[in-house]
Amino acid sequence: MDESVRKILNAAKLEVAPETFTLVSVSKKEWPKLLEDQGLSPRGTAPFMIFSDKYEVTLLLDEIDFGTIRHAIRDAKVEGGFRLLTFAAVLDFAVVGFLAEISGIMRDAGISIVALSGFSRDHLLVKQADLAKALKSLAPHVAELC
């Protein structure tokens, strides 16, 4: 591993969001219909993600927001039971290999992940059933578990 990546990871706090999350795949055709109803929008106080590519719109919602939208997305693909892990370290765009190192640790532990990146921080989604194992695997590599 690159020494700069090791330093960043070793100094990072790993935060576990208290919520349980669901990933939702909405078709490009259905997405405009959801936007028309403001009551289906995620709460601004809860973590959420909306990512649109040419194939689908992916939503990351906590249990409350997923419960609000569920009736309107009956045909969507849904995968729930995720916990959100955040590496509380601001990453410069020049950093190379941060997610690769984390992915390798999770691979070695046999844990499937969904990697997410914000503008300055990286995040992982792991299944609730794998949370304890993920934390145990990551603990030696980070400054603190929160």
**Each residue of 82-133: pLDDT tens digit?**
999 999 999 989 899 999 999 999 999 999 999 999 999 999 999 999 999 9
pTM of the model: 0.92
Q: State the residue for tokens 């601004």.
A: 44
Q: What is the pLDDT of residue 4?
A: 86
CA angle 24, 35, 54 (to 5 degrees): 55
pLDDT surpasses 60 at 1: no
How far apart are the C-alpha atoms of 31 and 29, rounded to whole Å?
6
Q: Give 21-81's CATH code, choosing from 3.90.930, 4.10.860, 3.30.70, 1.10.3470.
A: 3.30.70
Residue 54 pLDDT exceeds 60? yes
Closest CA to 106 of 82, 137, 62, 132: 137
Considering the domain delimited by 3-18+83-139, tell me its CATH architecture. 2-Layer Sandwich (3.30)
